Amino acid sequence: MDKIYQLKMSGFCILSGVFNNLEINQMRDEVIANLKNMAKTQNLDQSYHLAGFHRYPSLSRLHSNIASNQRINVALKDFYGAEDYITIGLSDVTINRSQHWHTDLLRGKYSTHLESTDPWDQHNTPCLKALVYLQAGRGLRVLSGSHQIRTPLNDKNISTELNLKNSQQIEVASGDVVLMDIRLIHRGSTEIEMNSQQLVSKPKILVSTVFGKVNMPITMAMQTGNLFRNIDWDKKWLRKHCDS
């Protein structure tokens, strides 16, 4: 319950050692075996991304390993107070990928799907992301408690309008899972940190999926908007990937 209290107050918590070394190696092998399905959405040659990876049969077991994990589900049940939650279709695999400050709410043109609901309404139970780290690292940075304040649904405004000086760097071990309120302001590694030749042979892999309470307005809005996000992502990146 201490973890759930931290999740509610700070916007994140760490579940230590959720996956063992054998499971980690199997998940890494599955990711690397599916590079052909991924796109290079950044300038670095060793950087890859696949949005909506749960849709691929060759990666369905990877997603199931996360969604059905007992420790993750115990935490989710404690947070939601019941078992009536689902994965909402927002899943990602990233390899050696940098990320600037953002939240995981629908942003930019997809933020219109949130107009029918208020993500910060205390009665609107938030969605949670499970981030699975397949190696140790210190790339995650968070602004603790920022899930409780209204933030812009635009990445540029988050970086320029908000005070990020009090952010903290989170250290995780291989096999740890970070549960995060999707409203929390956070960032991943910088481009400089990802621009290392060592990452070619020892890539940094992050796998994630998002959960939401059944029939909750924010859950339904995120599901709808993410469907359009996945379609647009496929059109933009997978076509380019297939043509290369």
**CA–CA separation, 149 and 144 (whole Å):** 11
pLDDT digit string, tens, across residues 166-224: 899 999 999 999 999 999 999 998 888 887 778 888 999 999 999 999 999 999 999 99
Q: What is the pTM of this model?
A: 0.94
Which residue from 94, 60, 52 is spatially nearest to 230, judged by alpha carbons? 52
Q: Provide the CATH number for the domain around residue 114.
A: 2.60.120.620
pLDDT of residue 66: 98
Confidence grade of residue 1 (pLDDT, cut at 50, 70, 90):
low
Residue 242 has pLDDT above 60, yes or no: no
Query: What is the number of structural domains in the chain?
Result: 1
Residue 227 token pair = 């469907």
Q: Residue 168: which domain range?
A: 2-243
CB atoms within 10 A of CB 99: 20
